[in-house]
Amino acid sequence: MRSIVMISSFSPRFCGIATFVEEAIEFIKKAAPDVMINVISHLDGRGENVHPIIDLNKEDWYKPVAEKIKELNPDVVHIQHEYGLYNYINKRGKIDYNQGFLKLLDRIKEYPVIIEAHTVHGRLREKEEWFIWEVLKKCTVLILKCKYQKWRFSWTFREKKNKKLLNKVAVIPHGARNDRRYGDKEINKLKEELGLSELIGRHMVGLVGWVQSNKRWDIVLDLWEEIEQVIFGRTGENWFLFAAGDIRDPDHRKDYEKYITKLKELEKKGIAKYFKFEPRGVLYYKVMAICDFVILPSVDETQSGTLARIIALNKPYITTAPLEGLTSQTIESNGGLLFTDKESLKRNIIRLASSESLRRYLGNNLKWYLESRVSWEIVVQQYFDVYERAQKRDVNFPAIF
């Protein structure tokens, strides 16, 4: 392996996929220091060997991208895909539904092309189904994050004539860091470092990450006062709701302001705190590390960078079910609890806060899951296996069942 071209959004863009790619490249370089990695990004990308040329203001944005790939002449092209990253919208507001992306694939078909899909729902919409089948025709390998996604493909595309295209589908999980765990004795030092000395010695339930409408912080905020009283009645301990993050998308401002108003009410009662910070880099891990466990009440996640950080820290957690990748990884890891309505959410928060042994059990399960299944070191080796097979055009990946 001589060189890789990665196509993606990139830092400093506030984007989960941009952050994902930064970490992926870090660990690819660690595993193979001599491999040259160039990144082709949108216009706001910055960094060494980053080429910010994806201009979605232009309908033919894919042409200079294809030309740059041919100039760089890599061994493989690894594309991070999410629909919004490659949608051209004309002056009348009409979306091309990734037509330009498919045209890009046509222009670089002489290269082994690996597409890593970040948004593949179990039940595909009609346009999604059409798009993915077209991608399978044109790419060398399609990487999915979870086994259930490939399993569903065998059902979704059951009437297609060329089912051999499904042999192009590999499953590689979302990578998680193995170097960001903190011991119990370090937690109070972290609180002091973050300027949160008043929280030293406090038990904390975390809501951590970008504050978006689909994260549904309001569900927890509305229940917290009642939950805190029940926990105190059972354990004699005062638990604190620690909500930490910031808004990323202006379209979510109405819900963000609603959440902050509710948090201020809870702060006045001495049972919660809002900590504003930009959820990126090492700071993201440190903020999450000071929580005893984390709640991720999302309503739309096919896979989750927030969950990857929870796993990296071995933090027990509670998340939504049934919900795509969140439910899948919770079942596989046995490292979290699932809820389906307000009552089951309330019950599981109380259950987890009331049992240190349960928190330890779930945390140990996440440690096993991280070290044996999803650490970046493991994921990167799976990437290299796919790269090698793509170069040889040997991509007969087996079915899940």
Which are the contacts of 322, defined by CB distance < 8 A and separation ≥ 6?
340
C-alpha distance from residue 375 to each of 16, 153, 367 (Å): 18, 26, 10
Q: Do domains 3-175+376-392 and 184-374 have the same CATH topology?
A: yes
**What mean pLDDT is predicted for residues 219-231?**
97
| Domain layout of the chain by residue ranges | 3-175+376-392, 184-374
* Residue 163: band (very low, low, confident or very high) from pLDDT cuts 50, 70, 90: confident
Q: Is the pTM of this model over 0.85?
A: yes
Report the distance separating Cα 149 and Cα 147, nearest Å: 5
Q: What is the pLDDT of residues 84-139, one digit of tens each?
A: 999 999 988 888 999 999 999 999 999 999 999 999 998 899 999 999 999 999 99
- Domain range 184-374, CATH architecture: 3-Layer(aba) Sandwich (3.40)
pLDDT (0 to 100) of residue 304: 82
The residue whose two tokens read 């307000």 is 342
Percent of the chain with pLDDT over 70: 100
Identity of residue 290:
I
Look at residues 333, 338, 4, 318 and name the one whose alpha carbon lies nearest to residue 174: 333
Q: Work out the average pLDDT over 52-65.
A: 97
- Is residue 204 within 8 Å of 240, Cβ to Cβ? yes
- For 332-385, write each residue's pLDDT tens digit: 999 999 999 999 999 999 999 999 999 999 999 999 999 999 999 999 999 999
The answer for residues whose C-beta is within 8 angstroms of residue 385's C-beta and 6 or more apart is none
322, 330 contact by CB (below 8 A): no
Q: Residue 177 contacts by C-beta under 8 Å, 6 or more apart in sequence?
A: 23, 285, 309, 312, 375, 376
302 pLDDT higher than 80 = no
Domain range 3-175+376-392, CATH class: alpha beta
Please choose, from the candidates 277, 188, 293, 191, the residue with its C-alpha nearest in 3D space to the C-alpha of residue 239: 293
Q: Flag the least confident range among 54-58, 104-108, 246-250.
A: 246-250
Burial of 127 (0-12, 13-18, 19+ CB in 10 A): exposed
Using omega within 30 degrees of 0 as the cis cutoff, is the peptide bond preceding 64 cis? Answer: no
Q: What pLDDT, on the 0 to 100 scale, is given for residue 320?
A: 94
CA distance 302 to 120: 6
As given in the structure block, the two tokens for residue 60 are 């033919």
Q: For residue 308, is pLDDT > 90?
A: yes
| 90 token code pair | 């004309």
Residue type, 60: D
Residue 303: is its pLDDT beyond 80? no
Contact 75, 112 (CB under 8 A): yes
Which of 155, 171, 109 minimizes the C-alpha distance to 135? 109
Residue 158 pLDDT class (50, 70, 90 cuts) = confident
> Average of pLDDT values for 45-71?
97
